[in-house]
């Protein structure tokens, strides 16, 4: 053992910079040979044959293949009429992920003409925080980054400033430093449609006086102008579609009431408390700030004010009303909601509601599930999506598996921030039943994943990043998440001492709910004495995966794309 260790320490030290050249698998060699009739070069017609027969791109034309071939010529410095040699073809498969990526190309392809509540929406939580929920700075920079990534729901907590004459955005009752509300509005206005033209929803957690609510209304109108969506009616029976709402800004919050009604409500609650009775519903879940207000309830500061001259204008701008049903969550889920509203449940409330009323949560009304952790970590989002929640709110400041899943989910549909819900979440059965996430179901399809090889770490990482004395020892972990029966994990063997590892292993994943399944791919470097090193990750919506040999780019822990690292993977559905 001592001699072996000595050889590892000293014998391999001299070749820690050694990099083996990438070489293709026999499957790739055979595909090239088959499509070229064993010739040395591939022309347009032969490339089209490969794309149709091996990549399942049935609608591919000669002109489509010519566009790809011309782009490869440009990148490989080939002549305008030069065909592809095998090395050029291999480059296309492994490194040209923009031409040969693992999911459908970045175009919107879902039906965008259904009512807004028929979509999953890319949702941020406490979008203004730069770090943890208790002591980090508040800024418009995280808002800008979220919008540029494609997030379409931005949450702002509104509080009076220290002088009480203006509005700050901060996480209330914490040590977070504030950012002016007007600055956040201007940044949203500038960057709202950086990723796609579809509407941005601003959810407000409002802790303001009526005078400041009036100021909010004026600011919003002045900043957004014609972009601001203002509903014709106080209560909307059916929302417009994402297509109809392109370029619009939508406000969502709890509407204020008139002072007298608020005062009466408070008096009644006070009497109930004195008599030893609690006027709140025992089943009422907390919202994201822990409030226990009922439907259309007053905000905690405004209800104490004697005048609300400007409140009607503020109320009129609220398109998606937040609030809780008058008779409690259980009654509402059983009997239906008479108005469209945003229902907010914390992580713990969601878990309890899913356990007690799982099938009843799958509804068309807006529902938003919020995380409750102070570290900016996130929970498992599939629970919310499986129960039909349009807005599963996430902290975009942190990183980890759950956030990778969120990024992966919204890579679908061209990354536009809106995903049409699967039909099974929208349809009702003959007895008015809805999809039950906990019910067992049959396997609909199998996803086969063959992991061939990877390359690019030598360009993106220093030669001693993973190991000071030898090349790295990479392996790949594959995880499928979705329906309760679809969770599975697989792992390749470890390839020792190789910057260009070749695994050539195939795994099969049975799927009962392929419409909501996600495939997470994580590469790690084996470490014998410490925790294995992170070497890249990605998450792919299974419904968007393109069959065939695909170039799979990897991302860092915060979701930023690594410049060079790619995996060559073959996907099949059987």
**Residues with a known catalytic role:** 125, 171
Pull the structure tokens for residue 401: 């598996």
Strands annotated E in 179-294: 179-180, 200-206, 249-253
**Cβ 198 vs Cβ 152: under 8 Å:** yes
* 73: CB partners within 8 A, 6+ apart: 79, 80, 82
Taking the C-alpha atoms of residue 288 and residue 154, their distance in angstroms, rounded to an integer, is: 14
| CA-to-CA dists, residue 559 to 126, 244, 304, 398, 554, angstroms | 19, 31, 45, 10, 9
Nearest CA-CA partner of 195 in 408, 415, 390: 415
CB atoms within 10 A of CB 163: 6
Strands 167-169 and 153-160, bridge-based pairing: antiparallel
DSSP secondary structure letter of residue 322: B
Bridge partner residues of 571 (DSSP): 449, 548
Alpha helices in 36-78 (DSSP H): 44-53, 62-75
Pull the structure tokens for residue 47: 């490339």
Taking the C-alpha atoms of residue 435 and residue 358, their distance in angstroms, rounded to an integer, is: 9
* 341: CB partners within 8 A, 6+ apart: 295, 320, 321, 322, 323, 365, 366
CA 17 vs. chain centroid, Å, equals: 38
**Cβ 533 vs Cβ 514: under 8 Å:** no
* 313: CB partners within 8 A, 6+ apart: 214, 217
Max Cα-Cα span within the chain:
91
Taking the C-alpha atoms of residue 71 and residue 43, their distance in angstroms, rounded to an integer, is: 13
**Cβ 483 vs Cβ 517: under 8 Å:** yes
520 φ, ψ (degrees, to nearest 5): -100, 130
Bridge partner residues of 569 (DSSP): 451, 550
Taking the C-alpha atoms of residue 516 and residue 522, their distance in angstroms, rounded to an integer, is: 20
Taking the C-alpha atoms of residue 370 and residue 467, their distance in angstroms, rounded to an integer, is: 40
């Amino acid at each position: 053992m001592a001699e072996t260790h000595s050889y590892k320490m000293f014998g391999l030290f001299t070749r820690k910079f050694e990099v083996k050249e990438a070489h293709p698998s026999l499957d790739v060699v055979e595909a090239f040979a088959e499509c070229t009739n064993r010739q040395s070069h591939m022309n347009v017609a032969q490339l089209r044959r490969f794309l149709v027969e091996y990549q399942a791109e049935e609608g591919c034309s000669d002109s489509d293949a010519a566009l790809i071939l011309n782009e490869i010529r440009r990148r490989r410095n080939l002549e305008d009429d030069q065909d592809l040699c095998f090395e050029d073809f291999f480059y296309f498969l492994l490194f040209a992920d923009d031409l040969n990526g693992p999911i459908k190309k970045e175009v919107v392809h879902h039906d965008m003409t259904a009512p807004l509540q028929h979509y999953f929406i890319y949702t941020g939580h406490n979008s203004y925080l730069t770090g943890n929920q208790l002591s980090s700075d508040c800024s418009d920079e995280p808002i800008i980054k979220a919008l540029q990534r494609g997030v379409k729901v931005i949450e702002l907590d509104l509080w009076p400033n220290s002088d009480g004459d203006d509005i700050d955005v901060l996480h209330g009752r914490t040590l977070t430093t504030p950012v002016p509300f007007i600055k956040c509005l201007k940044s949203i206005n500038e960057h709202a449609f950086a990723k796609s033209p579809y509407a941005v929803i601003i959810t407000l957690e409002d802790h303001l006086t009526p005078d400041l609510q009036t100021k909010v209304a004026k600011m919003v109108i002045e900043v957004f102008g014609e972009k601001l969506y203002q509903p014709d009616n106080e209560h909307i029976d059916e929302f417009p579609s994402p297509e109809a709402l392109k370029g619009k800004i939508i406000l969502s919050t709890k509407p204020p009431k008139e002072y007298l009604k608020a005062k009466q409500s408070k008096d009644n609650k006070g009497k109930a408390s004195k008599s030893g009775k609690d006027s709140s519903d025992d089943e009422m879940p907390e919202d994201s700030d822990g409030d226990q207000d009922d439907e259309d309830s007053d905000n905690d500061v405004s209800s104490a004010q004697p005048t609300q001259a400007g409140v009607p204008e503020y109320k009129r701008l609220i398109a998606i009303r937040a609030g809780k049903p008058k008779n409690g969550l259980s009654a509402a889920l059983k009997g239906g909601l008479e108005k469209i509203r945003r229902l907010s449940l914390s992580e713990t409330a969601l878990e309890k509601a899913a356990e007690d009323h799982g099938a009843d949560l799958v509804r068309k009304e807006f529902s938003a599930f919020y995380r409750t952790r102070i570290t900016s970590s996130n929970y498992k989002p599939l629970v919310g999506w499986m129960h039909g929640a349009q807005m599963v709110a996430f902290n975009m400041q942190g990183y980890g598996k759950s956030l990778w899943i969120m990024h992966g989910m919204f890579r679908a549909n061209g990354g536009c921030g809106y995903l049409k819900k699967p039909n099974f979440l929208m349809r009702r059965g003959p007895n008015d039943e809805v999809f039950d996430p906990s019910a067992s179901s049959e396997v609909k399809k199998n996803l086969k994943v063959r992991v061939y090889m990877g390359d690019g770490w030598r360009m993106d990482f220093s030669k001693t990043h993973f190991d000071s004395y030898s090349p790295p020892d990479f392996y790949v972990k594959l995880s499928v998440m979705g329906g309760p029966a679809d969770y599975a994990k697989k792992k390749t063997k470890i390839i020792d001492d190789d910057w260009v590892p070749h695994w050539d292993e195939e795994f099969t994943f049975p799927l009962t709910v392929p419409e909501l399944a996600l495939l997470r791919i994580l590469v790690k470097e084996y470490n014998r004495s410490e925790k294995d090193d992170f070497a890249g990750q990605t998450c792919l919506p299974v419904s968007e995966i393109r069959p065939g040999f695909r170039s799979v780019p990897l991302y860092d822990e915060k979701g930023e794309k690594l410049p060079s690292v790619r995996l060559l993977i073959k996907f099949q559905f059987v």
